[in-house]
Amino acid sequence: TNAENFRISHDSKKVFFIRENKIWKTKITSESSEEIATLPFSPKYLALSPDGLKIAFITDDQEYSGVYYFDMHNIELVAVTRQTKDVGAVGFRNNHQLIFSQPGEQGGLQSFDLETKKLTKLVEGDIYNKGNSVFNKDQSRIYYLVTED
């Protein structure tokens, strides 16, 4: 598992990670892992909501390419957007707002409200950041953590 494919919960008690097309959870104090979900594609670039109840990710698997999140409370996979082009960094701004980037002239920084299911373009233009987005404490700034190949 590489750095893009695991996340530590905000309370530092659990680790969430991807193995093939499955999402797993391990308690820090335990050596056993629990499977959370089996997906029809291979996810990457995990992001964990602040309350730890949702995991967002992207996939570039041809049939499913896009942004998704898995709601661990309702045991539900939700497609945020299905794209044939690349989708970049994904992250939670708070418990109900997911942010992701897209390349190209029609791209930009997008926001998805998990409650209303409304997609809003925050910034127009060719914004494409692979990796994970992280917000500062007051959520006024976004940073991207990127690993170089």
SS3 label, residue 120: strand
Find, among 94, 84, 96, the residue nearest to 59 by Cα: 84
Find, among 43, 22, 45, the residue nearest to 34 by Cα: 22
Residues 82-92, mean pLDDT to the nearest whole number: 74
Give the span between the Cα atoms of 66 and 76, in whole angstroms: 16
pLDDT tens-digit series, residues 4-51: 688 888 888 999 998 889 999 999 898 789 999 999 998 888 889 999
Give the span between the Cα atoms of 59 and 80, in whole angstroms: 12
Residues 65-73, mean pLDDT to the nearest whole number: 91
